[in-house]
Structure 1
Amino acid sequence: MIERYQTPEMRVIWSEARKYQVWAEVEMLALEAWEKLGKVPGGTAQRLRQALQQKPIDEAFARRVDQIEAETRHDIVAFTRALTEWTGDSDAARWLHLGLTSTDVVDTAQNLLLVEALGLIEQELDKALVALKNLAVRHKHLPAVGRTHGVHAEPTSFGLRFLAFYAALLRDVGRLKKAREGIRVVMLSGSVGNYAHVEPAVEAWVAQRLGFSIEPASTQVVPRDRHAELMSALAILGANLERIAVELRHLQRTEVLETQEPFGYKQTGSSSMPHKKNPVALENLSGLARLLRSNLQAELENVALWHERDISHSSVERVILPDSTTLAHYMLRRLGRVLEGLVVFEDNIRRNLELTRGLVYSQRVLGLLIEAGMERTTAYEVVQRNALKSWAEGLGLRELLEADPACPLKGEALARAFDPSYFLRHVDTIYARFGL
């Protein structure tokens, strides 16, 4: 991921040094298992761990792996050779990678890193949920115009749209947790997944130590439908973040101006127009969501590999797994800042509610006419005729209905239709579903 969209925490997780640290941990745990089985001299793993405590794996180690890989053209071979050099204990290091194949280490370690990355994402998601909940509660009883097809429809609660976003992100929490459990597997089954050179007990020990499950039927790779499920959860999360961003971008339009993303004192909106305040953070989220969706397609292509394995998935995942988790983390953090500092213009919300001079109350009028005994088709014609006249002539719907002899409702009876509180009377019921 380019530096612009990195977060410090994800930069650490997806660094080369962190990757090799986790590779080393998988190798050490496998050695411990072999020791318990009596295949490796006791204390071998401990000797190597002590050497790595004295000389931790760092960026210098990563550079040494690169040097060796330039010759071997194989990353795990380069890694094990570098690790032997780094520990300075060739006698203990000769047992490294016993019975394993490269992907045993790579896939298991990668899953561990993915679980760590998802943990960071879930932390930011929790913060975004708190911000949405606060907005929903704060504006629960604020009447606002609802829009369908981009056109004013009926009054609603301004806070209700934030509650809808809150509900969507709660579903994302569930999807991410399910995907995290799906990827929380260990695979140390050997060259074609049949444990010919590694005991199942080794895999079980590593899984136990990591708190992971065992991949029940591997080949030489962890099946990639697990990764596709993870990428799907991230793509849907991105789509929901874009849903929020698109709504708030619309609400920031000059003609609407019901909300505005935070704008710093020294921030500039345009290189040429000093007055500009643009929803750049929200537009950024819309753009990055496209990347998350496109990366899902790439991972879906990784599910079908040749026979027990090929490595067509490897090059793809070196890009999309770090990038997608990093993007999701960045997007949530950026959205959180927008939500926490969101400016809400309540006067504009009230102004926009009345912008169409009462047209948004047309269904309420229709319902009251039917309750008064008018046949539905006739009632609809009366309301629509006056509504169209209101559109065309800029007159208020209530005044037109008062003057229309075909409308039996007058005075206070008609005024009831134009009370926005009627449209918010069940808002408490909706909020109660979320314990709010």
Structure 2
Amino acid sequence: MIERYTRPKMAQLWSEENKLKKWLEVELAVCEAWTKLGVIPEGDFKEIMEKARLDPQRVKELEKETRHDVAAFVMQLEESIGPAGRWIHFGLTSYDVVDTGLCLLLREALSIILEDLEEVMEVLKDKAFQYKDTPMIGRTHGVHAEPITFGFKLALWYDEMKRNRRRLLQALETISVGKISGAVGTYANVPPQVEQYVSQKLGLIPTPSSQVISRDRHAEVMAILSLLASSIEKIALEIRHLQRTEVLEVEEPFSEGQKGSSAMPHKRNPVVAENLCGLARLVRGYLISALENIALWHERDISHSSVERIILPDATILLDFMLSRLKELLKGMRVYPSKMHQNLLMTKGLIFSEALMLKLIKKGLLRSEAYTIVQRNALEAWEKGEDFKELVKRDQQVKTLLSEEEIEECFSLTKHLEHVNFVFDKIFKDL
């Protein structure tokens, strides 16, 4: 991933040196297991542990000759250890090391993303309660529907992120597996005890496999990351809509000295939210590649490898960046309750049409009859720019069924929002 969208912790995690460290961790754990089984002499194991040193530059040099990164890695370790280095990679195939090491890297990456997500959720929770009673218009199809509160909207985002958190925990479980079972997964040259020992030492669960761990696991992780990216985009897209000049209920932060346009000095564009929407497309695109990786030839081919060298680091690096950026956007966003109130009044009461229709049904009208009466008045109010409530009060059919007080009840904002606390109790009940 380009430096622009990479935070330092994730950059270090996916560095070539850290990958080699994970491979070394696996190799040394395997040597320890063989020693416990009496295959590697204690003296040789001691020498391995004392002398094993990584030299990433030397690995690169050897790879030019071998054209095989794991073979180059093993050769470099042997060089650093001496005669006892012959035990390195004993009974293993490359992907015993690569796949187990990759699972360690993914576990760390997902743990970072989980921490990021929890920070975003904390901000969402605080903002939801801050604006719990701040009324605004709810929109369906982009058109004014019925009143909600801004806190209600934020609470629903929090609820969605709770599900994303559960899915991330599931992804951690799915990918926290190890495989030390040889060239085709049959343990022909390395007994299951080695896999069990190594997995336990590394905090992984042994999994049946061919030469590689089945790629449905990696695809599941990518699907979960794609869902999270889409939830981030959902929030960012809403902020973009709410920042439109004609709406202007919310704005993303705009710092001193920031410029919105090279040509138009007045511009304050939702560039952070737009950036998040664009990055979400990338993450979802990587999911397609992950799904393509599931089907490999027989017990394994190498077609998945080049794909994973790109999509797994990139997707996790992007999610780390996106969550950090979303947190800052939410913390610093400007909210305009007065504009929300102004927009609530824009349709002059039309947003209460359903309440009026239901009141007429309670008085004995068929639903179709009530709908027709309310729609007729609503269309007239819209076309003439009149106040809907005042128009309804003059309607003879309505007047014969409803008192003025009953009509007023239909237009009560408080009545429409009386169950917001119920929704909050459901969403935040575990706090």
* TM-score scaled by length of structure 2: 0.97
8 A contact 2:137–2:343 mirrored in 1: yes
Contact 1:31 1:44 in 2 (8 A): no
CA contact (8 A) 2:135 2:337 kept: no
**Gapped regions of structure 2 (runs ≥ 5):** none
Deviation at 1:240, TM superposition (A): 0.9
Is 1:205 aligned to 2:222, yes or no?
Answer: no
1:67 equivalenced with 2:61 (yes/no): yes
Mapped pair 1:98 → 2:93: no
Which residue does 2:410 correspond to in 1? 417
Amino acid aligned to 1:177: L
Cα distance, 1:425 vs structure 2: 1.1
How far apart, in 1, do the equivalents of 2:263 and 2:403 lie?
55
- Aligned counterpart for 1:80 among listed residues 62, 68, 74: 74
Q: How does 1:158-237 map to 2 (within 5 A)?
A: 158-215=150-207, 217-237=208-228
> Contact 2:182 / 2:211 at 8 angstroms: preserved in 1?
yes
Which residue is equivalent to 1:359?
Answer: 350
Whole-Å Cα distance in 2 between the matches of residues 228 and 329 of structure 1? 19
Question: Which residue number in structure 1 is paired with residue 13 of structure 2?
Answer: 13
User: 1:244 & 1:43 partners in 2: Cα distance?
Assistant: 59
Letter in 2 for 1:172: N
For 2:232 and 2:204, the matched residues in 1 are separated by 30
Q: Percent identity?
A: 48
Match of 2:419 among 417, 426, 433: 426
Matched letter for residue 430 of structure 1:
V
The answer to whether the aligner puts 1:27 opposite 2:27 as a matched pair is yes
| Equivalent pair of 2:249/2:339 in contact (CA under 8 Å) | yes
Q: Which digits, 9 at most, give the CA deviation of each residue in 1:281-324, with x for residues without a partner?
A: 11111111111111111011111111111000000000000001
For 2:251 and 2:281, locate their aligned partners in 1 and report how far apart those are by CA, in whole Å. 23
Superposed CA offset, 1:149-182 (max 9, x none): 0000001122111111111111111111111111
Per-residue deviation, 1:83: 2.0
Contact residue 77 and residue 88 of structure 2 kept, 8 A: no
- Partner amino acid, structure 2, of 1:50: E
Per the alignment, residue 325 of structure 1 pairs with 316
Counterpart among 134, 140, 149 of residue 141 in structure 2? 149
Alignment equivalent of 2:268, drawn from 269, 277, 284: 277
* 8 A contact 1:143–1:421 mirrored in 2: no
Cα pair distance change 1:288/1:43, threshold 3 Å:
farther
- What is the aligned length? 427
Distance 2:274 2:377 in 1: 40
| Residue identity matched to 1:27 | E
Given the superposition, is the C-alpha separation of residues 271 and 44 from structure 1 closer, same or farther in structure 2, using an over 3 Å criterion?
A: farther
Equivalent-residue separation in structure 2 for 1:357 and 1:112 (angstroms): 59
- 1:243-297 CA-partner distances (Å, limit 9, x unpaired): 1111111111111111111111111111111111111111111111111111111
Q: Does 1:287 align with 2:287?
A: no
In the alignment, is the contact (CA less than 8 A) between 1:269 and 1:276 conserved in 2?
Answer: yes
Q: Deviation at 1:84?
A: 2.8
CA contact under 8 A between 1:20 and 1:62: conserved in structure 2?
yes
Could you give the per-residue CA deviations for residues 41-62 of structure 1, whole angstroms, max 9, x where no partner exists? 115444333335xx6x4xxx22
Q: Relative to structure 2, which stretch is displaced further, 76-85 or 3-12?
A: 76-85
Q: Give the Cα–Cα distance (whole angstroms) in 2 for the partners of residues 130 and 44 of structure 1.
A: 52
Which segments of 5 or more consecutive residues in structure 1 lack a partner in the other structure? Answer: none
Amino acid at match of 1:365: L
Report how far residue 404 of structure 1 moved.
1.9
Q: Which moved more, 1:43-52 or 1:414-423?
A: 43-52
1:347 pairs, out of 325, 328, 338, with 338
Q: In 2 relative to 1, CA 342–45 (structure 1 residues): closer, same or farther, beyond 3 Å?
A: farther
Q: Which residue of 1 aligns with 2:117?
A: 125
SS at match of 2:42: coil
Q: Name the CA shift for 1:339/1:45 in 2 (closer, same or farther; >3 Å).
A: farther
**Distance in structure 1 (CA, Å) of the matches to 2:192 and 2:107:** 23
User: Would the alpha carbon gap of residues 46 and 271 (structure 1) be closer, same or farther in structure 2, given more than 3 Å must change?
Assistant: farther
Tell me the equivalent position of 1:379.
370
Q: Per-residue deviation at 1:79?
A: 0.6
Aligned partner of 1:267 in structure 2 is: 258
Q: Is residue 304 of structure 1 aligned with residue 298 of structure 2?
A: no
Give how far 1:390 is off: 1.3
In the alignment, the residues of structure 2 paired with residue 314 and residue 428 of structure 1 have an alpha-carbon distance, to the nearest angstrom, of 51
In structure 2, what is the Cα distance between the partners aligned to 1:50 and 1:8? 31
Shift of 1:410: 4.7
Q: Report SS of the residue matched to 1:152.
A: strand
CA distance in 1, matches of 2:48, 2:118: 39
Name the aligned partner's letter for residue 419 of structure 2: H
Structure 1-normalised TM-score?
A: 0.95
State the AA in 2 paired with 1:281. V
Alignment partner, residue 40 of structure 1: 40
Secondary structure, aligned partner of 1:94? helix
SS of the residue corresponding to residue 314 of structure 2 reads helix
- 2:234 matched to 1:243? yes
Letter in 2 for 1:352: N
Distance 1:251 1:45, change over 3 A: farther
